Amino acid sequence: MDAPLWTERHAPALADIPQQGVREALGRAVDEPMNLVVHGPQGAGKTAAVRALAREAHEDPDNDLVELNVADFFARTKKEIRNDPRFEPFLAGRSSMSKRDMINHVLTEVAGYAPVSGSYKTVLLDNSEAIREDFQQALRRVMERHYRTTQFVIATRQPSKLIAPVRSRCFDVPVRAPTHDEVAGALVRVLEAEAVEYDDDGVEYVAGYAGGDIRRAVLGAQTTVEEAEELTMEAAYEALSEVGSDERAAEMLAAADDGRFGDARSTLDDLLYDEGLSGSEVLEDLLAAARSRYSGGDLARIHRLAGETDADLAEGTSDRVHLSRLLARLST
């Protein structure tokens, strides 16, 4: 969709977070900054909650909230990390560094900067499922060194992957999946802010379609309204039943098959982050595309690789990392 995303335009304030326990825990962190482990299932609203905390806590959240997606490091080559505009200033002239040292250096530099406003800044380590133990040891040292000026927030679906020295330095914030009614309530808030026509049946349909994922619900509503200029059950059914990832998955597979790994991963990011699909849903669509494209030994190979990826996804680690690895193997 070409219009500004409603998920960005109507990002929730701390008071809008549907889970009461999360609101209360993050409210305490506004008054008394502390390191946090924010954990819960995909689509529960972990990242949105941390951004809401930053807007409440910082006068200049655009500068005093620093987001580092762990997958941006661990699923990339050293060259890709060095050329990323966000990290390039920190890594100029450091081409001989190992990937671990590059990550360490970026994190140390970010943590060492003085906050733009107030007495501290917030560093969010998002999608931390795949964070390696050696990096966690380095993270622990950075947390100890900069505890006076930097609040670290680790967002993850699998907190058990964190080593004890890191977890013991963080306050635990569990984020459960929103209920159907909470998703519907968040959806109504956005619809009313957009001043669009809607009815209860339309809201109920989109909330059910989202399956406990507020981001997916809001994007589904925006898709419907852009096509039908209203949100009714009939309009939502017609709009969302046509929104499939089959063609995008086929496009992604073709790019990987042609050796265009960057293009394939860009499509993967669109499916995971813009469309709000889970890793399992993307893998299922990828296999459907493969069955139309291949046969015989080639298809058997893809099914074998997909089976390994499915097992990795079941472990609860980063969907992007595991699917990127699959695409890389298909590109060779």
At residue 144, what is the residue type?
Answer: E
Which of 127, 146, 174 is the endpoint of a domain?
174
**Cβ 275 vs Cβ 1: under 8 Å:** no
pTM: 0.73
Residue 9 included in any domain: no
Q: Tell me what the mean pLDDT of segment 10-17 comes to.
A: 94
Residue 98 included in any domain: yes
Give backbone dihedrals phi and psi of 279, rounded to 5 degrees, phi first: -60, -35
pLDDT digits (tens, 9 = 90+) for 274-331: 677 788 888 888 888 888 788 888 888 888 888 888 888 877 667 888 898 899 888 7
**Cβ 54 vs Cβ 19: under 8 Å:** no
Which of 241, 267, 291 is the endpoint of a domain?
241
CA diameter of the chain: 63
pLDDT at 75: 67
CATH of the domain at 324: 1.20.272.10
Residue 32 included in any domain: yes
Q: Tell me what the mean pLDDT of segment 135-164 comes to.
A: 90
DSSP string of 125-138, one letter each residue:
EESGGG--HHHHHH
- CA nearest to 310, candidates 322, 297, 294, 328: 322
CB < 8 Å & 24+ apart, contacts of 77-84: 78/102
Which of 144, 174, 204 is the endpoint of a domain?
174
| Size (the chain), residues | 332
DSSP string of 228-282, one letter each residue:
HSEE-HHHHHHHHHS--SHHHHHHHHHHHHTT-HHHHHHHHHIIIIIS---HHHH
Residue 294 included in any domain: yes
